[in-house]
Structure 1
């Protein structure tokens, strides 16, 4: 008789570690994928923002460099202009009141084409010269500077002063304006202008010919000394003219570095004392006998 077989027992076998790892690995990959997908726009945003910030930073540096360089150059030029003016000129209070600048200027040196300043005497020509300020600083219309500016400007007790009643100060003329005054007198004394101004009988031409001659030669020699003192070291080239028979001729149309003349002229004009016929009798400080010269210097 056969022995009956025992029923097979079900044995529980847990999943292996590899199965668990695979399950969690798949879940992790799915999670990472979802996170990666979600972070892509954010990463692009941060990258774009960083690029903009970098670009703004570089642009601000460039702008700062350009602006700083521009103003640095301006300040350097201004300082250099002042140093050059102070180094090459005698002191006057004009230097602290006027911002002296230098700029390239083209000279009109035409030989055949006349400017108004070269034409024969006429009211129009006189008006052009007067607009330059040639009469604004004539000896009978001096300016006045404060007493404290006198010594540094080369003025001493012996120089004529304004009465304390009217504010004191030294009577002065801006030399550059006097030089133009002198050049204008030389122009008026040229042979083709002399009769016109002698007939008018004004200013220097009120005097007899002997005094007029001394006045004119004084001006001539003053201009000579000014030109020698400020000798121009520029060069004149030459050009060809006359296509039929080419010949060389100096080119007087040159470039020069000049001061801002109009600013100096305006300063001189605002400095003026009233006309001689409008000032009170006691406007001048009485002369000190110790400083009275025997004759005109």
Structure 2
């Protein structure tokens, strides 16, 4: 009887271990096949960052086109049979939308201050209304920008980028440029978003921002 009990215990333990391992590997397989490996990737693309003033300078039609090129068709809103049967949005595109909105609000505020100074100053500083910028600024609102400041803050904490940046040997400071780091494949995420898009919109700013 003792030998039989040992055999049964060993058998049950073996079956249990097999079930656990099977569940683990099937789970990994399910993720990689159903999600194309995109949303679960921790990043395997090596990139060296260099400054790009297109996204940080005064907004122009050319810079807006550059921002627009970052956003997929569907604006990152997807319907997926497993992940989002009722529709969801991919966070990175919301984050870019918010960062862009903050940029527009910042330069609009600077421009309005300059116009105000020109109007009430005894000297004409040559400032004229930038109708292109003002048309963009009219599509942002204080409540939306307040939302975006905190949304981007929490997004940075959530991502918690742990790439290491070397400081300048002379100043001891770092600006992040010229450093090679490990990144996710952004183009792959864009392609995945467009594969599962649930609409045809393709704008980084909506007609009216009301977050």
Partners in 1 of 2:89 and 2:73 — Cα distance?
11
Note closer, same or farther for the CA distance 1:274–1:233 as it changes in structure 2 (3 Å cut). Answer: closer
CA distance in 2, matches of 1:219, 1:171: 22
Distance apart, 1:123 and its partner CA: 0.8
Alpha carbons 2:74, 2:194 under 8 Å: kept:
yes
Aligned to 1:266: 191
CA distance in 2, matches of 1:193, 1:135: 30
C-alpha separation in 2, matches of 1:194 and 1:251: 24
1:135 to 1:122, Cα distance in 2 relative to 1, 3 A: farther
Q: Structure 1 residue aligned with 2:64, among 120, 126, 135?
A: 126
The residue number in structure 1 matching 2:4 is none
Aligned residue number for residue 120 of structure 2 = none
Specify which structure has the bigger relative contact order, considering alpha-carbon pairs within 8 angstroms and separated by 6 or more residues. 2
Out of 18, 30, 36, the residue aligned to residue 98 of structure 1 is 36
Cα RMSD (Å) of the superposition?
3.6
Structure 1 residue aligned with 2:146? 217
C-alpha distance in 1 between matches for 2:74 and 2:145: 19
> Helix, strand or coil: the match of 1:250?
coil
Divergent runs of 4+, >6 A: none
The answer on whether the counterparts of 1:120 and 1:193 sit within 8 Å (CA) in structure 2 is no
| Structure 2 segments unaligned to the other structure (5+ residues) | 1-26, 112-129, 202-209
Do the aligned partners of 1:134 and 1:184 also contact (CA within 8 Å) in 2?
no
The DSSP-based 3-state class of the residue aligned with 1:190 is helix
1:237 to 166, 176, 186: 166
Query: CA–CA distance in 1 between the matches of 2:168 and 2:53?
Result: 21
Q: Is 2:80–2:87's contact at 8 Å kept on the other side of the alignment? A: yes
CA deviations 1:63-86 (Å, max 9, x no partner) are xxxxxxxxxxxxxxxxxxx97xx9
- Cα 1:206/1:231, change in 2 over 3 Å: closer
Q: What is the match of residue 114 of structure 2?
A: none
CA displacement at 1:225 relative to structure 2:
0.6
CA–CA separation in structure 2 for the residues paired with 1:234 and 1:201: 34
Shift of 1:193: 6.9
TM-score for both structures, normalised by structure 2? 0.58
Tell me, in whole angstroms, the C-alpha distance in 2 between the residues paired with 1:194 and 1:135. Answer: 32
Q: Conserved in 1, the CA contact under 8 Å of 2:60 and 2:133?
A: no
- 1:118-140 deviation digits (Å, cap 9, x = unpaired): 221011101111111177427xx
**C-alpha offsets along residues 8-41 of structure 1, whole Å, 9 cap, x if unaligned?**
xxxxxxxxxxxxxxxxxxxxxxxxxxxxxxxxxx
Instruction: Give SS of 1:214's match.
Output: helix
SS in 2 for 1:104: strand
In the TM superposition, residue 255 of structure 1 has moved relative to its aligned partner by: 2.1
Corresponding residue SS for 2:107: coil
Query: Out of 256, 259, 263, which is 2:181 matched to?
Result: 256
Change (3 A) 1:120 1:198: closer
Residue number among 156, 162, 167 corresponding to 1:227 in the alignment: 156
